[in-house]
Structure 1
Amino acid sequence: MGFIDTILWPLKWLIEVILVAGHTGLTAIGLDYDSGLTWVLSILLLVLIVRSAMIPLMIRQIKSMRGMMEIQPELQKINDKYKNKRDQFSQQAKQQEIMALYKQHGSSPLSGCWPMLIQMPIFFALFRVLNAANAGTAGVGLMNEDLAHSFGNSTIFGAPLSAVLSDPGGNVSVIVVAITIIVLMVGSQFFTQFQITAQNVSPQAKASPMYRQQQMMMYILPLVMAVTGFMFPIGVMTYWLLSNLWTMGQQWWTIRAMPTPGSEAAKKREERLRAAGKWETSPENPENQKKKKLEEQGIEPKPAGQRQQPVSKQRSKKKKKKKK
């Protein structure tokens, strides 16, 4: 066993447990034991379990990225403050102010990378499981030789799940299926990034350098997927595509339910709440936010009503004389 296989051993064992459990359950209800559909649905089960476990992390990532967008004007002020100061003391003070700003808003530059970093070992572990299955070798856990042979030789639309586009072996189905999956992967990734940059960014954040970086990522990430798609087996790309579709749906729901204040998505949500008569009680209503801040400071909000008219000095003196 190599060094990488030793590191990935726990993940490979867990992946085999989920795949075999899904395969066993599906064959129990009548699906074909050696069908590619049975194994693809087992991969779907793996996606559902992994991504469900990552929901808290994804919500934290979305909030942190939104916060990073919103603090860009304040971050720019700090950079301008120390623009011409290169001494060690000034640079240290600059970093302390930036870290304090991140902490205040609950944001971090690395938060957007964690979901991808966590999933990369899963991609490689699934890749190793598929390679072993293609060779008819039993896995490290529940994947025995019979299941490995079934997994490695199962096909979807005539293309084996273990096949790679860079070496189709003369099978046209491998080329067609792999390219179709790559196109869907690229399209879903692009649409996910587009949802963020087009609808869930405030006008102030759009003027920041981070927004331009986000727009660049909208084109770079799909390109990376297109290139790596030539090297990964169809089974691994199927996992990647299903995971992308999950992310796209999750992102759509998040933008709809928790949009960035001031963004186009926030305006649309306000319109929906007003149409439903729920805007007055919504926590996103600026008036309700002001009341909440006052309550947190221990200040009782003044009841809404007619504004008290100012009294002139002359009228005030007349009132005092009458009282006497």
Structure 2
Amino acid sequence: MLDWLYTAISWVMARWHSLWDMVFGDPAPETALGGLSWVLAIVFLVVTIRLILFPLFVKQVKSQRAMQELQPELQKLRKQYGSDRQGLALAMQKLQKERGVNPLAGCLPILPQIPVFLSLFHVLRRLAPGKDGLYSWTDGLTDEAARAKLFGAPISASFNMSGGKEQAILGIAGVNYTNIRVVAFVLILVMCATTYVTQKQIMRRSGPVEGQAAMVQKLMLYGVPLSLFVSGFIFPIGVLIYWMTNNLWTMGQQFFILRKMPPPGSDAAKTKAAADKPAVDPRTLAPKPGAKPVRSKGGRPSAAPTSTTVTDTALADDAGDTAPGDAGSNGTPSTSGTGSTAARGGTGGGSRPGSGQGPANRGKRKRR
């Protein structure tokens, strides 16, 4: 049923192997470079798959960000509908449809990788010296892949083997169980560690969650690496290389996304928003020439007044200082009016009505 997928995976590996053979000068399969060309073929199989799936990864990140932005509105809907789960589900679907959010988009990059992983596992599990050609490979290419080594361990070997495959692999010159198990165990540990780190990055990318979602995240954080540690003992070394490379790619990809698109509400997002905010030129906040300043609640102008505004304000103050109520009962000006006028009058022109030198005072001097 999946023969077409097995054929596609083996064809891509064969193309990358041919390229690296050309780079290394067509080395013999038993040499280190011969084994390295097959290891790099598996590594670049991962690169090929992840480049094809990269648009889906971007769509996944955008969907997660949109879901995070909808959380406040979803919380309101939960309070509004209470125990009415059917009404809540319909309201949530309507809201997500209006905003163009698809919750299933978060699974898009993961789903296509599952059949690829299973196909590679199937091909490498059947790989052994002396076997007939597998799918798109010739007999010679199949035998060469089965004998390719990483640090002395064939990529077709597993930590635990049995039957005819075990005898065929241990019959390769220079191969023993010690080498195979040391290399396989190290790769299993690296695979589990990188899986744990990628799960931590996924938690950071998805932002803080509560309740059942938090329990699921914690289960994934510890459960997935633990299950891989157990199953890794039956994986061929080539599959361990594939998984480790896939995790390293995911780590780098998520590090880039977390740096460029930090989760909403995080410290990195606030710092980025502050850095992206355009600076305000203080000159644009100053009043235009001739305009009166807008006074704040404290009574102080919000900006420095211009020369025209100062003159207008001074004239208004003079009028206020010489109001009729400032004079005494006998018509004599008050001290405050005289003082303020004298202080501002200087030795300039004529007096103004209401000042200390007004017409009433001049009449008194004449009668004396």
Scaled to the shorter chain, the TM-score interval is 0.7 to 0.9
Distance 1:240 1:184 in 2: 10
- Counterpart for residue 173 of structure 1: 179
- How many residue pairs are counted as aligned between the two chains? 272
Q: 1:152 to 1:239 in 2, by over 3 A?
A: same
Larger Rg over CA atoms: 2
2:42 matches 1:43: yes
The amino acid across from 2:200 in the alignment is F
Q: Comparing both chains, which one has the higher relative contact order based on Cα–Cα distances under 8 Å and sequence gaps of 6 or more?
A: 1
2:242 match: secondary structure: helix
Q: Share of identical aligned residues, percent?
A: 35
Q: Is the 8 A contact 1:197 1:215 kept in 2?
A: no
Unaligned 5+ residue runs, structure 2? 167-175, 288-292, 297-368
CA RMSD of aligned residues (A): 3.0
Pairing of 1:67-216 with structure 2 (within 5 A):
67-85=66-84, 91=86, 93-134=87-128, 136-141=131-136, 143-167=137-161, 171-198=177-204, 200=205, 205-207=208-210, 209-216=212-219
Q: Could you tell me which amino acid in structure 1 is paired with residue 140 of structure 2?
A: D
CA deviations 1:118-142 (Å, max 9, x no partner) are: 111111111222233326221222x
Matched, 1:305 2:291: no
CA-CA distance at 1:171 after TM superposition: 0.5
Contact 1:23 1:38 in 2 (8 A): yes
Q: Residue 105 of structure 2 aligns to a residue in which SS?
A: coil
TM-score w.r.t. structure 1 length? 0.74
Give the structure 2 partner of residue 290 of structure 1: none
SS in 2 for 1:134: coil
Cα contact 2:64–2:206 (8 A) shared by 1: no
Specify the alignment match of 2:352 in structure 1.
Answer: none
Task: Report the Cα offset of residue 262 of structure 1.
Answer: 1.7
Q: Report if the CA contact (8 A) 1:31-1:38 is conserved.
A: no
Change (3 A) 1:183 1:107: farther
Match of 2:263 among 232, 235, 260: 260
1:221 paired residue among 203, 224, 234: 224
TM-score by length of 2: 0.65
Unpaired runs of at least 5, structure 1? 1-5, 288-302, 312-324
Checking the alignment, whether the CA contact within 8 Å between 2:60 and 2:106 is kept in structure 1 is: yes
* In structure 2, distance between residues paired with 1:215 and 1:108: 24
